[in-house]
Structure 1
Amino acid sequence: MELRQLHYFVKVAKKEHVTQAAEELHVAQSAVSRQIHQLEQELGAKLFLQKGRNLQLTPVGALFLKRAEVILADLERAVSDVHEFLDPEKGEIRLGFPHSLGFSLIPEIVSTFRKLHPNVTFRFKQGMYPSLIRDVIKGEVDLSFVSPFPEQHGHVTGETVLTEELFAILPPNHHLAGEDAIDLIQLKEDNFVLFSQGYSLRPIVWDACREAGFTPNIGFEGEETDTIRGLVAAGMGVSLLPEMALYPSGPLQPVKVRVKSPQITRTIGLIYRSNEKLPLVAKAFQSFLLDYFSCKGIK
């Protein structure tokens, strides 16, 4: 079976007419008919039935069309991947990241990178820690920011690019809202607004409270940074968030207070598949990111 036969078959199936298909393919009608006939012989099944002046797919033909289209689409993507690999300036970077990085960091680094490489495009996937790791392993993204950085993992590798301080966020009328810094134990009696199970910030907050000597009272749970921030601002409780998740996004904002004890941080890593070379365009972006964080002195 030849790729040419698949191309001819798909074109005839779409046009439902050999002559029109041959015209679009810029080949002789007899060549198209011959290739379709050879394909039917090889498959041992009729793919078309004559219906007046047109052709109609048989049930087997309709089934084969779905498969043929997938094969040709995969081939097209493979050719595109090769072209992108050979010319990184026209490639696509598939990047994963957690929601908390989407407010400022991702737009900033992508904007900066595209000033240097204006023809490179991006495809983004946001998710929780387990899904981001899975996306890298399955090859659905080339690179992904994750928090915390997985120190040991059999299928992914990478670098810690950022260690970020977490701040206490309080309602504006909270009795500690005017303080420059507090000890976390001072929030022992407050209700906490936490991320739902599966989000990496939840265990960080939980472990910090336990280290401070108490188990947090969970008042509310949420899945978006905006939700956590908004509930705290509305007086529903307190929480801990990294600074990059505290950019104002509305009129109602919580108060940010530094935590003196214990010291609370999160690590953010850039990961990719182990034992596999990155496409050149993704490799160029990886190098850019390492330089970017190093120059900013925030690693």
Structure 2
Amino acid sequence: MSLNKLHIFKTVYECGNTADAAALLKVTRPAISQNLSRLEDELGISLFTRFPKGLIPTPQGHQLARNVGPLLDQLNIEISAVSHNQDSRVGILHIGAPQATGTLYMPRIVERFNALYPNVEIHLYLESSTLQLARLMKGELDFAIIDVYGGEELHRNFQSYCFSETLVEEFVVLACSPRYYEENIAGDLSFDKLASLDFLTTQDTALELKSWFYDQFGKIPPSLTKRVIANNGIALIDCARRHLGAFATGSNLIKEYVEHGELIEITPRSRGENNSICLAQLLDKKPSALEKAFITVLKDYAQSTWGRE
């Protein structure tokens, strides 16, 4: 049984005849009659008694109208609400972002967006790019902001069903506090010295640190002393400020701390390889007006402010 047949029944019930119902629904009278007959066949009951001047509902017809009428009305209200959200930019957004980038920058971007569209409920998911892409595939996110540092494999995995647009380019740098630098490095930027440091990392595999060493020296230390493992880059920044070790991070994330003298970059040969912070969306998804509005604010922030505050 389709909702269309119930909708036609409800319209005929309210109009009292097929001619007015056909005009209201913009279909032919035979189409109305055919759908009513099929509905009666499916239910095994008569819904109307036919007269030359119109239709009189049977007791079963009155009962069906009482039961399904409010449900169809509520369904129309819900559908209208969705359409209203598309047009007026009022509703809910589900957005993914990396832990550190999301923690540091997304509140600032949301603040700007909220000033323009105060009636929007925003759900932020701060997690790894891999988890964000999985959420995109399930339809749980409207769009995501992802890191593609060392991301050739990541690109290959999602390029068939997502497209990405670069928002910010940054260097991946090794950083620590000035005190930790003086006590443990003191100008010795050799591979052996740096490999012997205490490290702060976002994952047990320390892939970001290994990638940094390979970029700088063309080789990876056989082992690393992992002093702190935390899945949030902001927590690692705070650990580094407290002189607990060195960590690999995006240059934009620590820009303010470097300017204030709380952290310094360790640059044996260069600032490091590039990390791209990208906007990722499903290829076949048509962005709503609400999504477009947020993306406009996001891009404006990325171009004018990101990493410059």
TM-score band (shorter)? 0.5 to 0.7
Post-superposition Cα deviations, 1:63-115, rounded to whole Å, max 9, x if no partner, equal xxxxxx9x999987655332211222x13222111110233310111111222
| 1:136 Cα offset (Å) | 1.3
Partner Cα separation in structure 1 for residue 292 and residue 254 of structure 2 = 31
> Could you say if the C-alpha distance between residues 291 and 233 of structure 1 is closer, same or farther in structure 2, counting changes exceeding 3 Å?
closer
1:211 matched to 2:215? The reply is: yes
User: Which residue of the partner structure matches residue 270 of structure 1?
Assistant: 279
State how far apart, in whole Å, the 2-side matches of 1:209 and 1:166 are. Answer: 11
Q: 1:155 aligns with which of 161, 185, 191?
A: 161
How far does residue 135 in structure 1 lie from its aligned partner after superposition?
1.1
State the Cα distance separating 1:130 from its structure 2 match. Answer: 1.2
Task: Give 2:264's match in structure 1, choosing from 245, 250, 257.
Answer: 257
AA aligned to 1:92 is I
Post-superposition Cα deviations, 1:155-189, rounded to whole Å, max 9, x if no partner, equal 11120101123443325532437999985745222
Q: Deviations over 1:120-170 (max 9, x none)?
A: 331221211211001112111111111117545111112010112344332
Residue 134 (str. 1) matches residue 134 (str. 2): yes
Taking structure 2 as the reference length, what is the TM-score of the superposition? Answer: 0.62
1:80 matched residue in structure 2: 81
Deviation, 1:190, is: 0.9
Measure the CA separation in 2 of the matches of 1:239 and 1:80: 48
- Give 2:174's aligned residue: 168
What is the aligned partner in structure 2 of residue 279 from structure 1? 288
- Alignment map for 1:188-199 (pairs within 5 Å): 188-197=195-204
Deviations 1:192-226 (CA, angstroms, capped at 9, x unpaired): 2211158xxx4332211123334161323222224
1:94 aligns with 2:98: no
Query: Aligned ranges for residues 1-299 of structure 1 at < 5 Å?
Result: 34-35=63-64, 79-88=80-89, 90-148=90-148, 151-152=155-156, 153-171=159-177, 173-176=179-182, 183=189, 185=191, 186-197=193-204, 202-213=206-217, 214-215=220-221, 217-220=224-227, 221-246=229-254, 255-260=262-267, 261-264=269-272, 265-296=274-305
Write the distance in 1 (CA, Å) between the matches of 2:186 and 2:289.
Answer: 47
The one-letter amino acid of 1:205's match is L
Displacement of 1:38 in angstroms is 8.3
Q: Secondary structure at the match of 1:205?
A: helix
Asked which structure has the greater CA Rg, the reply is 2
* Contact 1:101–1:245, Cα closer than 8 Å, also in 2: yes
The letter of the residue matching 1:291 is D
Q: Secondary structure of 1:196's partner?
A: coil
Structure 2 gaps of 5+ residues are: 8-58
Identity %: 15
Cα distance in 1 for residues equivalent to 2:237 and 2:306? 27
- In structure 2, C-alpha distance between the alignment counterparts of 1:181 and 1:111, rounded to whole Å: 42
The answer as to whether partners of 1:114 and 1:120 remain within 8 angstroms in 2 is yes
Contact 1:164–1:242 (CA under 8 A) maintained in structure 2: yes
Equivalent residue number for residue 9 of structure 1: none
CA distance in 2, matches of 1:182, 1:107: 39
Report the secondary structure of 1:267's partner residue. Answer: strand
Does structure 1 retain, via aligned residues, the 8 Å contact 2:99–2:233? yes
The letter for the 2-side match of 1:163 is E
For structure 1, the 5+ residue unaligned runs are 6-29, 40-68
SS where residue 169 of structure 2 aligns?
strand
Q: TM-score normalized by structure 1?
A: 0.63
Secondary structure of 1:176's aligned partner: helix
Which residue number corresponds to residue 38 of structure 2?
Answer: none
Please give the alpha-carbon distance, in whole angstroms, between the structure 2 residues aligned to 1:259 and 1:175: 9
Deviation at 1:282, TM superposition (A): 0.3
Q: Is the 8 Å Cα contact of residues 241 and 263 (structure 2) preserved in structure 1?
A: no
Secondary structure in 2 matching 1:140: coil
